[in-house]
Amino acid sequence: MNAEVYSVTYRVPLTDAQQARLDRKWPDGDPFISYEKMASLLEPLPVDDLYWSHHTGQYVYFTVRGDELESTVAEVIARLETKLGKA
Report helix, strand or coil for 34.
Answer: coil
Sign of the torsion angle spanned by Cα atoms 35, 38, 44, 49: negative
Q: pLDDT tens track of the chain, all 87 residues?
A: 899 888 999 999 999 999 999 999 999 999 999 999 999 999 999 999 999 987 778 999 999 999 999 999 999 999 999 999 986
Domain chopping of the chain, boundaries: 7-84
